[in-house]
Chains A and B, each alone.
Chain A
Amino acid sequence: MRILLINFLRLGDILMMSPIVNALRRKYPGAQFHHLGFKEFSIAEEVMEQVDCWHYISRKELLHSCRDATDGLLSPADLIESKCRELTHFEFDLVISLSHTTFSSICAGLVQGKRTLGAYVDGDELKFSTSNFERINQHESLDRHHYLDWFRLGLEMTNEPVDWSFQRIKSPVGTDRRSSLTDGRRVYLIQTLSSDEKKAWSMERWLELFALIRRRDPFAEIKLLCAPFEREHLATLAEQADAELLSVGLKEAHSAIQKADFFITLDTSTKHLSNDSKCKVIELCLGSSDHRKQSIYRAGSVILTPRDECYPCSPRDFCPKVQRSCLKGIAPSDVISAIEFSEGKEKVSFSCGAFVTTSDQLWACEEITGRKGGEIERSESGKPTVESHSEA
């Protein structure tokens, strides 16, 4: 049996679909899994061992081909047509569109598998494999669900466990010998950069946070996680903070997260890797990063959000303010409170919005307003929600 997964979103969205691939692997043992996406995010191959064969269309080349006079006007069409025709020859038993976009729906239709799941274009008609996908398309359930759960609901997989293992054989997360067990020093792994400027926190705030961490934990081992191309950009910060710079690929990042005690991150693709670890995760959602749609999934993680009226903003809009107000919406002391909350401290206070994930069959979170007798005091957040897949 051959199964093709189509996902034309970005790296984080590809990694986020890992539990669905795992559920499909359990449902169809022995099936061969193929993945079609944009070449620009081929780095996902490093960690998603569940996929047997990767196929790509280069977005950059597609755009270049549209405007380059050397290429035929129909060359971009040829690039898509030839790739879909090539995939048709595999005679897929199942084609699953894992990104709810027009582009992936069209490609899902062009590949012509024996059966197609998700949204797909058949002739000139947009079809949905289940009524759940149709409801997603009509924005009926967007407000209520995490992006991963859209697809779990659509594929009728909500009774399946959410297995975040990125290896084909479940990774030995529970038996990892973390540094705190070996030398007594706690490892704080921190991802300070985001590919989207609007989701970034200022360097001054990071430095202040590092100082606060060292004040409460003088022997803390602070490691800054970044991609190799970001190394130069972070060298000064690492030096000022006396932190180790870990500029690594996705596989090494996954391994570093599994060995860390705390992972503090912005809205990055690596946060999805941390679902496959035991470390305590604190996510800072700023700008267009909507925590209800795309935040860390695993239960027990802490999410911090600004309380600004404009949060979360649209990813396509420029911030009209001279300085983004959400930059100041989360204070370094809030991150320290989140660390303390993760450690089980009874009384913590936040100046920003703070949530703890309580995901079970579906993603869920509860606002943290303090603890009473070990129970989280809950409150309803009145934040507005975005009406569509913000980054599709």
Chain B
Amino acid sequence: MHEQIRIEKTPSGHPVVTCEGRQMSSFIDPHKEAIEWVDHYSSLLANRKAIIVLGVGSGYHIEALRSRFSGHVIVIEKLKPLVEHFQRTFKELNERVTVMSLSEALKRISEEGLPAPYAVVAFAPAIYLFKMEYQSVFDHLVGRTPEGLSHQFKLRGVGHYFCPDTLDLESPAESFRHFAREQALPLRWRNIFRAIGEVIK
């Protein structure tokens, strides 16, 4: 076990994790806290084929998400001991949750593909200590940086898209209008972006 990682017990005997002294979940009722966390993202669960969670923490939020969401659940975690703890504690989830290490996540996703549409959610207590590293993966997965956007198009089979300097990724409406005119994109995608432009104009 990593020297900074400690496994404690709640009053009711459930294992909970601290990392460098930071609690990864409630030490009183981690189940209740996890349900509330999933409630916060409930609007995402309806039409997504996959949810990517950054940070495994004590694992209760993954368990709660799994019970509410029928699509793919992918967890990205930097600390291997936390992954091992999760796989030991939540054995029944091992086949229903894909766990990836932070260092190999982008490579694996590029190789294996990702069911779209998906959403990326960060579990704040777990990513706090390695925020910059998680931020980089998050940006790639949501495609709101030039590199991330190219990566996103690559995942959808468009290998020759290079984000122009003039594209303002802070303004989604402008981005969609740009994509609708982007000759490098397949016609099907350009039409879809044109349709989105009609909805948000």
Contact = CB atoms under 8 A, between A and B. Distances in A.
Interface of A: 58-59, 61-67, 69-82, 101-103, 106-107, 109-110, 121, 123-124
Interface in B48-106: 49
10 contacts: A61-B46, A74-B152, A77-B189, A81-B188, A82-B49, A103-B198, A106-B194, A106-B198, A107-B195, A121-B191
B175 A73 contact: yes
Contacts of A75: 116-119
Contacts of A79: 47, 117
B149 interface: yes
A82 B44 contact: no
Interface in B90-143: 116-121, 141-143
Contacts of B116: 74-75, 78, 81-82
Given A61-B43, A70-B119, 10 more contacts: A62-B199, A66-B172, A66-B173, A66-B200, A69-B142, A72-B119, A72-B143, A73-B142, A80-B192, A81-B188
B89 to A, nearest CB: 27
A72 B194 contact: no
A73 B187 contact: no
Contact of A73 (B121, B144, B190, B200): B144
B187 A103 contact: no
Given A58-B47, A66-B172, A66-B200, A102 B119 contact: no
Chain B interface helix/strand/loop/mixed: helix
Contacts of B118: 72, 75, 78
B200 A81 contact: no
A66 B179 CA distance: 14
A116 to B, nearest CB: 14
Interface in B155-201: 156, 169, 172-173, 175-176, 179, 187-196, 198-200
A124 B190 contact: yes
A106 B47 contact: no
Nearest to B115: A82
Report the contact-size class of chain B (Cβ under 8 Å from the partner).
35 or more
Contact of A76 (B144, B149, B153, B196): B196
Closest 9 A-B residue pairs measured CB to CB? Answer: A78-B117, A78-B116, A106-B195, A73-B143, A72-B142, A66-B172, A103-B198, A102-B198, A77-B192
Contact of A61 (B47, B148, B172, B179): B47
A67 B172 CA distance: 7
A67 B176 CA distance: 12
Interface of B: 41, 43-44, 46-47, 49, 116-121, 141-144, 148-149, 152-153, 156, 169, 172-173, 175-176, 179, 187-196, 198-200
A124 B188 CA distance: 9
Contacts of B44: 70-71
Nearest to A109: B191
B46 A70 contact: no
B165 to A, nearest CB: 17
A101 B194 CA distance: 12
Contacts of B119: 70-72, 75
A71 B142 contact: yes
A103 B195 contact: yes
Nearest to B152: A74
A65 B196 CA distance: 11
Contact of A110 (B117, B149, B192, B200): B192
A62 B192 contact: no
Given A72-B152, A82-B116, A124-B187, A66 B192 contact: no
B49 to A, nearest CB: 7
Nearest to A123: B187
A73 B199 CA distance: 15
A69 B144 contact: yes
A76 B173 CA distance: 11
A106 B190 CA distance: 10
B73 to A, nearest CB: 15
Given A64-B43, A101-B198, A123-B187, A73 B193 contact: no
B120 A72 contact: yes
B194 A102 contact: yes
B143 A106 contact: no
B146 to A, nearest CB: 11
Contacts of A72: 117-120, 141-144, 152
A192 B136 CA distance: 54
Contacts of A59: 199
Contacts of A81: 116, 188-189, 192
A105 to B, nearest CB: 9
A268 B116 CA distance: 38
A73 B149 contact: yes
Contacts of B176: 66, 76
B188 A110 contact: yes
A355 B58 CA distance: 70
B191 A110 contact: yes
A78 B50 CA distance: 12
A76 B46 CA distance: 14
A65 B200 CA distance: 11
Contacts of A67: 172
B142 A106 contact: no
A113 to B, nearest CB: 15
Given A81-B192, A102-B195, A70 B142 contact: yes
Contacts of B199: 59, 62-63, 103
A191 to B, nearest CB: 29
A69 to B, nearest CB: 7
